[in-house]
Structure 1
């Protein structure tokens, strides 16, 4: 039986796709994980799926196509409206249910209170799909507030949170940020990974992920034994 999990960010452009690229580069081939972003907005440039694939050089078989794709770089409810379309949460939840017992990393769109429709928030979809969640936050100033708020939103709804992972630029605050969030947020810190100092080729990125991501294997061990958590 597989272990699909949901990657929830503390906001937009916080590092979810970077985290997903690191995870896929390090673990996809060995554990058969696939990447899936069910809702993709802002597809005028390189989509997140295309970015992860380009960064990791993994073949098509490691990627699922989005259920919904919208051109506008905006909240799903607004991006859909711009195209005269409507996102159907029930249809999306049915698609998610089919992946429940597969090894799939499911990247969310924006933060957990982003509206999928004008009366349906992302957090409700996370709750109803009942996937365990990894919260991705920034290493930088402001992350304590943003990450604690996200953890509060999830845990207050009894959504299973596996832990949080910080990504971003290296700075003097990050160790304390991780410690305080873990102490006050009721969820373990699964790791911290800083951005590489320069642009990397796929081969270099794979080496970087092997050396710098999930160095203590907290994340993978948690995914391999989810029943032991919480």
Structure 2
């Protein structure tokens, strides 16, 4: 079973859109193990609308929390205890795209971060990064955190308006491939995402390393 994990340097950078495009391009199943915040809906519903995948490919979350906050805080507020055993990767036919919550060091519990969970899984990660100001520092720190836990990194996917220097220097310093840049889309729908993903994202780079 091919598994690709989509994470980001921060929250709200577009990794759900990227995960939808990736899952759609691969015909993969999609899973977000911990969803924190479901008003008006969660990321699973957004991926269902954008990926073009059949409903059976959109897997239910292990934890679906009401509070829009870091998972450790959302779980505390909602009165839920997160158990690592429930976060084991689901077994599916074909590829699986897994989306993390927030950035790589977001805490899931008082003692477990997203990066720790990625290390537990041992599967390759795609790091989604903004193209704009601040992304060099955020990206390289995220990569260091992943490498400190020996998490394999398939590559970096940039999201946003073109910024040639940032898109050049981060992969160079990190020694990682750039998988391309997904622009902001208007309108954003399943058709526009499919076309943009096919045009701008180099999946061959991912599988060469993964």
Alignment TM-score, normalising by the size of structure 1: 0.84
Match of 2:183 in 1: 194
1:130 aligns with: 122
Is 1:160 aligned to 2:118, yes or no? Answer: no
The secondary structure found in structure 1 opposite 2:99 is: strand
The residue correspondences of 1:37-76 to structure 2 (distance < 5 A) are 37-76=32-71
**Is 2:159–2:183's contact at 8 Å kept on the other side of the alignment?**
yes
Q: Does 1:99 align with 2:88?
A: no
1:80 aligns with 2:75: yes
- Deviation, 1:201, is 4.0
User: What is the distance in 1 between the residues matched to 2:6 and 2:136?
Assistant: 18
1:207 aligns with 2:195: yes
C-alpha distance in 2 between matches for 1:157 and 1:70: 27
**How far off is 1:21 after superposition?**
2.0
Taking a change above 3 Å as real, the CA distance of residues 80 and 191 of structure 1, as seen in their structure-2 partners, is: same
The offset of 1:189, in angstroms, is 1.1
Unaligned runs of 5+ in 1: none
* Aligned residue in 2 for 1:16: 15
Distance apart, 1:185 and its partner CA = 1.3
- Aligned residue among 104, 115, 120 for 1:112: 104
Cα offset, 1:102, TM superposition: 4.5
Cα offsets for 1:205-226 (capped at 9, x unmatched): 3333333x31xx3x34532x44
Q: Is the 8 A contact 1:136 1:165 kept in 2?
A: yes
Alignment gaps of 5+ in structure 2: none
How many pairs were matched up?
210
Deviation at 1:106, TM superposition (A): 0.3
Instruction: Determine helix, strand or coil for the equivalent of 1:117.
Output: coil
SS of 1:87's partner is coil
Contact 1:4 1:100 (8 Å CA) reproduced: no
Shift of the alpha carbon at 1:176?
Answer: 0.8
Alpha-carbon offset, residue 101 of structure 1: 8.1
CA contact (8 A) 2:155 2:205 kept: no
Contact 2:177–2:205 under 8 Å retained in 1? no
In structure 2, relative to structure 1, the CA distance for the partners of 1:221 and 1:181 (3 Å cut) is closer
**4+ residue runs over 6 A deviation:** none
CA RMSD in angstroms comes to 1.9
Q: Does the aligned pair in 2 maintain the 1:3–1:100 contact within 8 Å?
A: no
Relative to 1, partners in 2 of residues 1:112 and 1:205: Cα closer, same or farther, differing over 3 Å? closer
> Residue 140 of structure 1 corresponds to which residue in structure 2?
132
TM-score by length of 2: 0.92
- Give 2:166's aligned residue: 177
Alpha-carbon contact 2:5-2:126 (below 8 Å) kept: yes
